[in-house]
Structure 1
């Protein structure tokens, strides 16, 4: 049972891009929140750790936005990024509740 490979196309670019823009941003926020909790960064805006996490959001978001075009369809991009968001935000809430 070999399936034929599906060629990637730019046919569904708008749903893929909107998933990367919206869900990619929230996904990068969740990743930075988890990382900030694990390395004990406080909320001081002038602290080096806070600045590092703040500026790290943009490259992570750009990476997610760039890879969202590798999904087969826009629906799959929304589903996978939405699922990843749900998992990472649940991890964030769990880690946050354990550390407080």
Structure 2
């Protein structure tokens, strides 16, 4: 149980940041206009990810899935920045 909870806190935090970052990047307008709604959405998404981490059958699976998805989302943000598609 503790491993799943920590997976929701650690990699879940990074996954939530990546998801909200990708979503706010797609919104029209400058990034300053999406800052406050993005911060509010981040906490909602993070709570959802923390709750979903308890649906995994083991802590190892939670860490693997959440860590892998966090790496994918943050990697996508890095790639978009490297391609200079992000401001």
TM class, shorter-length? 0.7 to 0.9
* Offset at residue 41 of structure 1 (A): 5.5
Q: 1:97 to 1:40 in 2, by over 3 A?
A: farther
Do the aligned partners of 2:15 and 2:70 also contact (CA within 8 Å) in 1?
A: yes
2:71 maps to 1:86? yes
Long gaps (5+) in structure 2: none
Query: Which is greater in Rg?
Result: 1
* Offset at residue 31 of structure 1 (A): 1.0
What TM-score comes out, normalization by structure 1 length? Answer: 0.76
More helix per residue: 2
Q: What residue is the counterpart of 1:32 in the other structure? A: 20
2:39 maps to 1:54? yes
Give the length in aligned residue pairs. 85
Do the aligned partners of 1:41 and 1:50 also contact (CA within 8 Å) in 2?
A: no
What TM-score comes out, normalization by structure 2 length? Answer: 0.86
Long gaps (5+) in structure 1: 1-12
CA distance in 2, matches of 1:50, 1:76: 32
